[in-house]
Structure 1
Amino acid sequence: MEFRQLQYFIEVAKKQHVTQAAEELHVSQSAVSRQIHQLEEELGVKLFIQQGRNLSLTPVGRMFLERAEAVMTDLHRAVHAVQEFMDPELGEVRIGFPHSLGVNMVPRIISMFRQEHPNVRFRFKQGKYNSLIQAVLSGEVDLAFISPCPQKHDQLSGEVLLTEELFATLPPNHILAGERAIKLEQLKNEPFVLFGEGYSLRPIVWEACRRAGFTPKISFEGEETDTIRGLVAAGMGVSLLPELALKDCSGLQPVKVKIADQKVTRTIGIIRRREEKLPTVAEVFRRFLMSYFN
């Protein structure tokens, strides 16, 4: 069965006349008749019956028309999707990011990009480190912001966008809150508020504490940056948070203090499937990111 046969069949069904259908399709009447005949032979049924000078659909012809029109609609949608795929000013960027970047960084970047490309749409997925990697590998998203950015991966290509420092985050009334800088070991007896298992900041904080000679005592665990920050501000413990997580916030706020005895950082990068061409609009967005952070 060919696309042309379905096209001719639908047009004849609409016009109820071979000659008028041929004129609409800009082909000969014999070409239309031949394609309809071949389609009926392939299906093994009569799709039309002659009624005077017109053609009417048989019951099975009416059923087939409904399905054929659905097929053609899906095909036109697919063609349109491919056209959008290739058009840098249309289409959709599917992007993933961790919760810690969803408050400020990602919305700010998207807003700036859409000033230059107002017709581009975005589909978002938030998740933990491993779920974001899986979303890229499975094709659920085209790109994902991730922290830390994997440097070696057989199936992923990663590019570091920025490296940011983590600060000791203390309640406002903490005895060390007025210090410009502290050693991390000064917090060894403090209760810590940390992200739960599976969040990339947790092992960074854990390793920094290990280098300082202690294992953090966890008092609370959270899944959102706002939660961690709020619990610290409320006096539930201390934490280490990146600078981005401490910007542009309102309400009850913790105090950030520089860590003097070691440099605790995290990388933020963008990942995609290795050796696979991105949709044009996603590639435009990726280049925008590299330019923005450079």
Structure 2
Amino acid sequence: MQNGARNSVELRQLQYFVKVAQKEHVTQAAEELHVAQSAVSRQIHQLEEELGINLFMQKGRNLQLTPVGQLFCKRVEGIMKDLDRAVAEIHEFLDPEQGEIRIGFPHSLGIHLIPSIVAEFKQRYPNVRFRFKQGMYPTLIRDVLSAEVDLAFVSPFPDREDHIQGDVMLTEELFAILPPNHPLAGEEEIKLEQLKEERFILFSKGYSLRPIVWHACLEAGFTPKIAFEGEETDTIRGLVAAGMGVSLLPEMALFQTNPLQPARVRISEPKVTRSIGLIHRADEKLPPVAQVFRSFLLNYFGLCQGQGEGKLPGQA
């Protein structure tokens, strides 16, 4: 690297470099940047001159990052992301009601809970924007740690996770769901062991509800026989309603979305629940608008009034 390169690299050069790296083509990058192709080429050439390295190599009609270019790009993308976030935080500090909240959540919360929360929050803060990311538990943890999101709902609430902190928002009961014509469908409550001979429809590995159901069955004295593994509550609920097996789902995943619905029965033994928490990075202060939303959520779930773990919308 040439002397002084660290001081002579310009922000525009980095912006153009990242765009070319993403598009692997100068013309396409120029079109997205709304500048002339020659301007992009000139900035990339100057950047390479200042760094004393080749960032790209020709591959057919496209450009490909060199190994050192890949290393540089990874660092620059992080810098640009931090810069964008810094600018956003300034605007949010000046007016928290004009910012953007980046929040992650699992699929099961997107059916009813997240829309209900956002709708009520938007009534109070209509100008706040949301950016949502759905994912499984490991993905949501990673998104929080990598600053892809500011806040994330996760279940179960992590017992120990470095650099993450948060609050348990609510504890939710899981119900047995059965085909409508099942012999136990009319019962008010059952013991889980009564389903030991049934075939279960479970979430695929990686989904947090799967180990909860699995461990509950083991606690009841049996290993569940798996008929099908799915990735969406609608699929599991629909297959149970069609008579393909039984399952356990949390209450908020049982809101009706189609005419074909399974029977819902409370489980008396063992009691099966899941905790739902709101997490954020422990070593960083939340952006002002995200802190406003977190305070809203603490109040929404009753934690600010010392009521303990929260309740679902509509519960007494």
TM-score by length of 1: 0.73
Quote the Cα distance in structure 1 between the aligned partners of 2:97 and 2:180. Answer: 47
Quote the Cα distance in structure 2 between the aligned partners of 1:170 and 1:235. Answer: 8
Which structure would you say has the larger Rg? 1
- In the alignment, is residue 83 of structure 1 matched against residue 83 of structure 2? no
* Match in the other structure for 1:278: 286
* Match in the other structure for 1:170: 178
Percent of aligned pairs with the same residue?
A: 64
Q: Residues 79, 100 of structure 1: CA spacing in aligned structure 2 closer, same or farther, 3 A cutoff?
A: closer
CA-to-aligned-CA distance 1:118-166 (integer Å, 9 cap, x gap) = 0000001000000000000000000000100113222100210000100
Equivalent runs, 1:133-172 vs 2, <5 Å:
133-172=141-180
Q: Give the one of 194, 205, 218 matched to 1:210.
A: 218
The answer to whether the Cα contact below 8 Å between 1:151 and 1:158 also exists between their aligned partners in 2 is: no
SS in 2 for 1:260: strand
Equivalent runs, 1:212-291 vs 2, <5 Å:
212-291=220-299
Quote the Cα distance in structure 1 between the aligned partners of 2:86 and 2:208. Answer: 40
Quote the Cα distance in structure 2 between the aligned partners of 1:112 and 1:220. Answer: 37
Equivalent runs, 1:122-141 vs 2, <5 Å:
122-141=130-149
Q: Residues 281, 190 of structure 1: CA spacing in aligned structure 2 closer, same or farther, 3 A cutoff?
A: same
Quote the Cα distance in structure 2 between the aligned partners of 1:79 and 1:167. Answer: 45
The answer to whether the Cα contact below 8 Å between 2:171 and 2:276 also exists between their aligned partners in 1 is: yes
Distance apart, 1:77 and its partner CA? 7.8
CA-to-aligned-CA distance 1:172-211 (integer Å, 9 cap, x gap) = 0111101111111111110100000000000000000000
Structure 2 unaligned blocks of 5 or more: 5-9, 11-38, 47-82, 303-316
TM-score by length of 2: 0.68
The answer to whether the Cα contact below 8 Å between 2:111 and 2:252 also exists between their aligned partners in 1 is: no
Equivalent runs, 1:178-197 vs 2, <5 Å:
178-197=186-205
Quote the Cα distance in structure 2 between the aligned partners of 1:167 and 1:123. Answer: 31
The answer to whether the Cα contact below 8 Å between 1:146 and 1:269 also exists between their aligned partners in 2 is: yes
Quote the Cα distance in structure 2 between the aligned partners of 1:79 and 1:150. Answer: 29
CA RMSD of aligned residues (A): 2.2
SS in 1 for 2:160: coil
CA-to-aligned-CA distance 1:229-284 (integer Å, 9 cap, x gap) = 11111111000000111124331001110111211000111010013100000000
The answer to whether the Cα contact below 8 Å between 2:170 and 2:276 also exists between their aligned partners in 1 is: yes
Structure 1 unaligned blocks of 5 or more: 7-59, 68-75
* Match in the other structure for 2:206: 198
CA-to-aligned-CA distance 1:213-237 (integer Å, 9 cap, x gap) = 1000010111011111111111110
Q: Residues 78, 167 of structure 1: CA spacing in aligned structure 2 closer, same or farther, 3 A cutoff?
A: closer
Quote the Cα distance in structure 1 between the aligned partners of 2:221 and 2:212. Answer: 15
The answer to whether the Cα contact below 8 Å between 1:96 and 1:144 also exists between their aligned partners in 2 is: yes
Quote the Cα distance in structure 2 between the aligned partners of 1:77 and 1:104. Answer: 32
Quote the Cα distance in structure 2 between the aligned partners of 1:163 and 1:78. Answer: 33
**Number of corresponding residues:** 225
Aligned amino acid, residue 141 of structure 2? I
